[in-house]
Structures are given as structure tokens and as C-alpha cells.
Structure 1
Amino acid sequence: MEVYLVRHTETVCEKGICYGQSNVGILEPYDIVFENILKQLPKEAKLYSSPLQRCVILAKHIQKNVQIDSIIEDPRLMEMHFGDWELQSWNDIPQEILNPWMEDFVNVRVPNGESFVDLNERVLDFFNNEIPKNLDKPLIIVAHSGVIRSILCKINNLPLQEAFKTSLDFGAVLKIELLS
């Protein structure tokens, strides 16, 4: 089965701002970037999306151009929750709070937020419970960097510590083949 992992396009946030589950928009105009994404997708598919607007905007454009019945918004596909750090500049987070997380982002929770393990558990809940039900046509998943990296760690049998060793640009489309 073909699964297309699509990262949302660039956000309106300035570089250096932490915006995990904050519902921020995407930069416009995005027509050219969206068209490039469409060229990499199948003509018909089932579509899942994070409910955050930066993914839903792209998912709606895909739905208009690919044969898709509906967009299934799933909160398990949301980016990591950065709790108290949401919409703060990374440089403004006190080092004594930031450093423990930087040293072990996999296990250490952000204050009032998640660790990467927390994100991974909900993403794997989605992956293990939704993917096997949908073997009849390709799947498109519009999501975030952390979510896509979590899925890649699962299918490539990689430890979560290695999740960020691969580049994953805004608007990236990764096609993976899953055995049924």
C-alpha cells in the first residue's frame, strides 16, 4: 500500500518561534508550492490531516484536485505540544529550562506540554489503528515534521533519538510502501 506523508508548507511564524500546536497559518501565496505537492500525489486516495489550519488548508486544496471523498481530521496527527513554550522565541526560553529538554527531547516533557515519546505514542496509535483499515487505496497524510518523523522511525525501525537526523523541508512529500 502506498502512503504519502506530506508536511505542511511554511508558516507565518518568524524563524526561531516555537509553534507546535499553536494554530498558525501558512505563508501566501502558496499556489506554486501546492501545485508541486499535487504533482507528487496519486489521482485518488484517502486523506487524513492534522486539524491544525496549516495542514487543513493544504488538505482542502488536495481534496479539490485529487479524487477524495472527505478529509478525516485526526488530533493524533497534531504536532508536539510545546506547552509553556508555544509562540515563544526559542532564545527567550531560559537555558535552565530548555537545556534538560535539549539534552533528552525524547523523554523530557516540555513544561505543560509533551515529550517526543508522548507524541510518538499518539502517532503510533493512529498508525496502528487507522492504516490497517485502509488497504484498498493509497493514503495521504498531511501533518507536521514531528509526526512524519515519528512514522519514519516506526517503519524504518529507528530509535526516536535519530528522528531529526534527516532533513524534512516544508511541503515535502515522502512516498512509503507498506506491505499489506
Structure 2
Amino acid sequence: MEIYLIRHTTPQIDKGTCYGQADLDVTDSFDQEAACIKPYLSPLIEKVISSPLQRCSKLAQYLFPSHTIQYDDRIKEIHCGEWELQPWDVIDKQQLDPWMADFINVQIPGGESYVQLYQRVASFFEEVVQKYSSLAIVAHGGVIRSLLAYINEVKLRDSFGQFSFSYGCVIKVHGTNEQFRHTILHNPDRPKEQHRPASY
């Protein structure tokens, strides 16, 4: 079995902004970033599944123009609820402190916790590996990190240090239902991202 995990290209948003399921567009560098991904993909990919958010759907359509792309809400990014599209540094510290202390289990107000994201991603993965032997998944950083934590049996809190990848990365998961391994095929050098307040 071969599964290609593809993270969307750079989204059109100011650095330091909290975002998850906001339907962000891509930057002007999209065509260049997407073209760099193509050489790392097998021509024998059977099925393509993408997050419906446009930063993923546009990439899926670009990379796989001859495929019928399936969209699945379970591989959307984490739901950031009331914090969506707010600058990290203006979010109420009384709300942030409990989340920063335990962002794995504490739910973002009006949104999700990382455990909830992980659970829906694991459910999705268990379903698709029963159906397809060659698959491409176009998704988000949180989704890909959750999936890698799941197949490698890594604790979610440890996964942030263990799995590091940038916009436009390609990771190949291969093996059987009993044991999967992963290989990073493409991890472009991009500016450092900011997904938490600068003060923490």
C-alpha cells in the first residue's frame, strides 16, 4: 500500500494569525510551489481525497486533473472556533492560558481540541486503507501530523517535535495494515510558521 500525504501550498494570510477551517486562498506562488510537488508523486495513484477547503482543493485539482477528486470533511484542519482569523497576540489570555497548558485536550472556544482532530483523522484513515491500495491525500499540517502520530503510535504532544514539515511537503506512507512506515519525499525550505502567540 502507498499513500501520499500532500500538504497544501502557502496560504494567503498574515503571519501570526490563528487559522484552521477558514477557507483561505493560496498565494501568488501557488503554481511554482505546486509544480515542485509533481515529480514526487506516483503516476499509478488510484484515488485522490482532499480537504474541501480551497487551499487543498485547488492543489488537488492542479496535481490530479484526470482524477475524480473526493472531498472529505474529516480531513479539514482543526476548527479554531472563536479564535479563527484573529491575530494570536490579541486573543484573550484567560482563554489562551488553559489551552497553551494542555492544547491536546482543551477545546478551543467554539472549536476543537487536538484530540478531536486526531479522532476524526484516525477514523478517516482506518476507512480509506480498507478501500484503496494507492492513494493521495491532500490536507493540512494538523491532519498530516495527526495521521503520522496515529500510524507511528506517537503521543500527540510529542508529535509536534517529532514530525516537522512545511507547506507543499510530500510524505509517502507505505506498508500494510499491520505496520506502516513513512518517508519524507519533499519538504521545501519555507519561512518559519507561527501557530501560537509570540509571548509563549
The TM-score normalised by the length of structure 1 is 0.94
Structure 1, unpaired ranges of 5+ = none
Give runs of aligned pairs for residues 1-180 of structure 1, distance below 5 A: 1-45=1-45, 46-64=47-65, 68-135=66-133, 138-165=134-161, 166-180=163-177
Distance in structure 1 (CA, Å) of the matches to 2:30 and 2:85: 23
How many residue pairs match? The answer is: 175
Secondary structure, aligned partner of 1:164: helix
Give the deviation of 1:179 after TM superposition. Answer: 0.9
Contact 1:5 1:143 in 2 (8 A): yes
Q: Which has the higher contact order (CA 8 A, sep 6+)?
A: 1
Instruction: Find runs of 4+ consecutive structure 1 residues off by over 6 angstroms.
Output: none
Report sequence identity in percent: 43
- Give the superposed CA RMSD: 1.0
Contact 1:3 1:178 in 2 (8 A): no
Distance in structure 2 (CA, Å) of the matches to 1:69 and 1:33: 20
Give the deviation of 1:44 after TM superposition. Answer: 2.7
Q: Deviations over 1:13-72 (max 9, x none)?
A: 0001111000010101322211110111011311010000000000000112xxx53101
Contact 1:23 1:52 in 2 (8 A): yes
Distance in structure 2 (CA, Å) of the matches to 1:109 and 1:32: 36
Secondary structure, aligned partner of 2:123: helix
Contact 1:21 1:78 in 2 (8 A): yes
Distance in structure 1 (CA, Å) of the matches to 2:20 and 2:77: 5
Structure 2, unpaired ranges of 5+ = 178-200
